[in-house]
C-alpha cells in the first residue's frame, strides 16, 4: 500500500516536470513567427487548431474529473442516483449538438484554408513573381534562377515583397523544401516538378532546410535564405554574374554525386538544366510537362517545346539516373 502511493506521487511529479519542460523548453518556435503572407495564414491555422483542441479538451477533462469525484464510491455520497433513467432530449441535444457544431466549424475553416493554401496558387501581388528552381541533391540544394541566369548551392537570396515561384524537383532521394518562417514544406521528387509560392515581407535571414530524411548527411542540407531589397538583390545578381564560375554539365554531374557542400555561386548554368533533371526520370511518362501534349498551351515560360526536348536527349544519355521514385 505504501509503495503504491510512492509510485503514484512519482508519476504525478514526472507528469508535471514533463509538462513544464515542454511548455517552457520551446522558447523560439519559428513557425509561430512568420515573415510572409503564406506563413501568416499557416500560423493563424495553427492557432485556430490549438484553440479548437483546447475548447474540446478542457470541458471533457474537467467533466471527467468532476464526475469521478462527484459519483465516487463513498459511504455518505449525496449524489443523485437514478437506476431507471432512460432518456433525456435535453442532454441528447447537448452531447450531439456540440460535436456537430465543432465539426461544422472545423470543416468550414479547413476547406477555406485548404483552397487558400494550395502550394501552387500564385500570391496576389502587384509585383511580378520570380521563378527559382530548387533541386534536392545528395546532400545539398541546387538553386537555378532561370530569369537571372545564375545558380547557387545551399544559399538563397530573394527580393522582399516579391512572390517567389519555387519549382521543386530531386536528382537524389526525395526531399522536402522548407523555409519555416515563409511557409510550410513541399516535397521535391525526382521525375516531377512541384510548384510552391512563398514570399518574404521583411528583410532578413531565414533558416531553411530539407525536411525529409534522405540519408547520411541529410542534416547538412540546411541553407540560409536571405531576403533583401530589390536593389540589393539586383546588385547581388550582377556581382554573381561577374565574379563567379560557370556551372557546366560536367560540373553538374560532379555536384550531383554524394557530397556535402558549403554555399557556392555560379554566374551561369546549362540551358534548361532543371527541365533536363526532371525529364531524365520521366521521358516516357506524361508528368504534366506541356510539350507532351502538342495542342496544349504551355502554362509556363520555362517548360520545353518538342524541339528543345529532342536536342536535349543527347545530353541526357550522359546523365545517369541515380534513383527512381514511387
Ligand atoms: Cu512524384
Q: What is the pLDDT of residue 26?
A: 56
Q: How far is the CA of 281 from the centre of ligand 1 (A)?
A: 10
Q: Summarize pLDDT for 120-150 with one digit per residue, the tens.
A: 999 999 999 999 999 999 999 999 999 999 9
Q: State mean pLDDT over 26-38.
A: 82
| Band of pLDDT at residue 322, cut at 50, 70 and 90 | very low
pLDDT at residue 4, as a whole number: 62
Please report, rounded to a whole number, the percentage of residues in the chain having pLDDT higher than 70. Answer: 83
SS3 28: coil
The 10s digit of each residue's pLDDT in 229-249 is 999 999 999 999 999 999 999
Distance 176 CA to ligand 1 centre (A): 12
Q: Which domains does the chain have, with CATH numbers?
A: 28-66+95-117 (no CATH), 130-284 (2.60.40.420)
Average pLDDT over residues 249-269: 95
What is the number of alpha carbons within 13 Å of residue 95 lying toward its C-beta?
Answer: 7
C-alpha 266 to ligand 1 mean position (Å)? 28
Q: How far is the CA of 195 from the centre of ligand 1 (A)?
A: 12
Residue 249's CB: how many other CB atoms inside 10 A?
A: 15
What distance in angstroms lies between residue 130's CA and the mean position of ligand 1's atoms?
24
The model's pTM is 0.76
In the structure, ligand 1 is a single-atom ion and the residues with CB under 5 Å from it are: 189, 192
Q: What are phi and psi of 258, to 5 degrees?
A: -65, 120
Has residue 183 got a pLDDT over 60? yes
Report how far ligand 1's centroid is from the alpha carbon of 16 (Å). 44
Of 186 and 76, more confident? 186
The pLDDT of 263-291, averaged and rounded, is 79
DSSP conformational letter for 293: S
pLDDT band at 193 (very low <50, low <70, confident <90, very high): very high
The more confident residue out of 315 and 94 is: 94
Q: What percent of the chain has pLDDT over 90?
A: 67
113 is written with which cell numbers? 484554408
Q: How far is CA 324 from CA 20, 82, 124, 215, 253, in A?
A: 45, 66, 36, 15, 17
pLDDT in tens, 9-28: 888 888 888 777 766 655 56
Amino acid at each position: 500500500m505504501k509503495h503504491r502511493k510512492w509510485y503514484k506521487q512519482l508519476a504525478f511529479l514526472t507528469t508535471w516536470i514533463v509538462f513544464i519542460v515542454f511548455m517552457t523548453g520551446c522558447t523560439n518556435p519559428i513557425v509561430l513567427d512568420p515573415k510572409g503572407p503564406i506563413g501568416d495564414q499557416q500560423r493563424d491555422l495553427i492557432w485556430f487548431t490549438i484553440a479548437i483542441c483546447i475548447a474540446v479538451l478542457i470541458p471533457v477533462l474537467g467533466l471527467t474529473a468532476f464526475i469521478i469525484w462527484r459519483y465516487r464510491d463513498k459511504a455518505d455520497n449525496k449524489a443523485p442516483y437514478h437506476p431507471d433513467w432512460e432518456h433525456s432530449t435535453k442532454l441528447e441535444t447537448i452531447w450531439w449538438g456540440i460535436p456537430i457544431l465543432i465539426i461544422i466549424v472545423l470543416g468550414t475553416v479547413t476547406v477555406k484554408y485548404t483552397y487558400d493554401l494550395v502550394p501552387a496558387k500564385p500570391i496576389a501581388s502587384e509585383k511580378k513573381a520570380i521563378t527559382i528552381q530548387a533541386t534536392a541533391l545528395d546532400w545539398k540544394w541546387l538553386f537555378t534562377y532561370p530569369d537571372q541566369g545564375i545558380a547557387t548551392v545551399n544559399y538563397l537570396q530573394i527580393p522582399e515583397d516579391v512572390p517567389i515561384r519555387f519549382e521543386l524537383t530531386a536528382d537524389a532521394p526525395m526531399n522536402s523544401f522548407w523555409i519555416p518562417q515563409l511557409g510550410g514544406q513541399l516535397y521535391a521528387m525526382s521525375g516531377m516538378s512541384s510548384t510552391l509560392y512563398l514570399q518574404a515581407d521583411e528583410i532578413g535571414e531565414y533558416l531553411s532546410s530539407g525536411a525529409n530524411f534522405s540519408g547520411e548527411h541529410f542534416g547538412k542540407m540546411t541553407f540560409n535564405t536571405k531576403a533583401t531589397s530589390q536593389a540589393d538583390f539586383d546588385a547581388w545578381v550582377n556581382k554573381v554574374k561577374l565574379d563567379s564560375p560557370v556551372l557546366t554539365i560536367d560540373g553538374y554531374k560532379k555536384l550531383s554525386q554524394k557530397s556535402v557542400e558549403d554555399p557556392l555561386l555560379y554566374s551561369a548554368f546549362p540551358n534548361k538544366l532543371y527541365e533536363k533533371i526532371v525529364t531524365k526520370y520521366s521521358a516516357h511518362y506524361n508528368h504534366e510537362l506541356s510539350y507532351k501534349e502538342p495542342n496544349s498551351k504551355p502554362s509556363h515560360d520555362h517548360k520545353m517545346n518538342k524541339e528543345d526536348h529532342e536536342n536535349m536527349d543527347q545530353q541526357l544519355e550522359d546523365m545517369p539516373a541515380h534513383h527512381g521514385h514511387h
